[in-house]
Amino acid sequence: MNWNDFFFGVYPYIAGTIFLGVSLVRFDRDQYLWRSESSQMLRTGTLRWGSNLFHIGIIGLFFGHLFGLLTPLAFFEALGLEPHDKQIIAMVTGGALGVLIFIGLVLLIWRRLSDPRIAANTKPMDWVTLLWILATLLLGLSTIFVSAQHTDGAEMLELMDWAKHIVTFQGIQAAGYIQNASWLFKVHIFFGLTLFLIFPFTRLVHIWSGFASVGYLLRPWQLVRSKR
């Protein structure tokens, strides 16, 4: 097994297992620490702009990656979109959402650096998380310039094949699809996978609660009985 097979055929499952397994253990054992640990009470200031821009961008980018990588090509062809068209759409929308995340992240980082009280309440893992997301984002934005040099969609199709084989548990075969991909794409993927690996050790676990809150909409009616 070579390094390409390990990082892009085996490592995704290591990261995924830790992501799910440790999240479950932490929810079971440390529910009182299962929170976003918001610093809003210390100072609002740039938090509103930074947090909103970051969350809008990151949610859009997450589902954009999910939809773009895992949706069958036949779906786009049915809409009259060629691989070239899909790549251009991905570059434009991904770039726009990436800029929103970047502005939001810079505001959030600056807020933690410039306010002594917030800085004192910032844990080392908070800095690891913020800087890791920033590095992953900058790598992703850098791939736009690589993609712009060949807009035929060929490399994009290879990345789609890789993702589809990963989610269908064909890891080693998946790694072969990006054997010759640009190193920028590979480093970006590695950083993205590692973000899932460190996820359950950070305050990012509060994202699970966001997904779980959808169940609130489906809850049964609460019966309130009068004592009369």
Q: Which residues are part of a known binding site?
A: 55, 65, 188, 206
Q: Which residue has the higher pLDDT, 131 or 34?
A: 131
pLDDT tens for each residue of 59-94: 999 999 999 999 998 999 999 999 999 999 999 999
pTM of the predicted model, to two decimals? 0.86
SS3 for 66? Answer: helix
DSSP string, 78-133: HTT--HHHHHHHHHHHHHHHHHHHHHHHHHHHHHHHH-HHHHHT--HHHHHHHHHH
**What structural domains and CATH numbers belong to the chain?**
3-208 (1.20.950.20)
Tens of pLDDT, residue by residue over 149-173, are 988 989 999 999 999 999 999 988 9
Please determine, for residue 228, whether its predicted confidence score (pLDDT) is greater than 70: no
Lowest mean pLDDT among 33-37, 147-151, 171-175, 198-202: 33-37
Instruction: Extract the annotated binding site for heme b.
Output: 55, 65, 188, 206
